[in-house]
Amino acid sequence: MTVVRDVMTPGAECVREDETLYDAAVRMRDLDVGALPICGSDDRLKGVLTDRDIVVKCLATGGDPRTATAGEYAQGKPVTIGADDDVVEAHDVMQRHQVRRLPVIDGHRLVGMVSQADLARTSSPVQTGETVAEISED
């Protein structure tokens, strides 16, 4: 059985909930990523901020990324996967919640991120195709 820990990108960096979207965008550029977990002062995961969130939910609505904070975009309980969960479960979670990336936790600690591409490298073409199709549905 392949577990998420085996395929994830370890060492995910958080954007703090009080940091601006501008700071988050700079960090995304520097890390060459399209999403950052949002962590609170208690180091608990509050959500995930994507580059699309910054553009569509802030810029396109007239918001100012230099004053808007990441915490303002942490909506609801974040969708996560356990580090020792089977990759099949990661596919299921991505499909069910229509997300392309999942924060990976060990207990309450963020240990990495797993993306649709990470899963595709180790999963069957059929499983990968099903996940892509489900995530892409409206």
Residue ranges of E strands in the chain: 9-10, 15-16, 35-39, 45-50, 81-82, 101-106, 109-115
pLDDT per position as a tens digit, 39-61? 988 878 889 999 999 999 999 99
Query: End-to-end alpha-carbon separation of the chain, Å?
Result: 32
pLDDT per position as a tens digit, 66-122? 999 999 987 778 899 999 999 999 999 999 998 888 999 998 889 999 998 898 888
The matching CATH number, chosen from 3.30.1490.190, 3.20.20.70, 3.40.50.920, 3.10.580.10, for 4-136 is: 3.10.580.10
Residue 115 CA neighbour count, 13 Å, CB half: 12
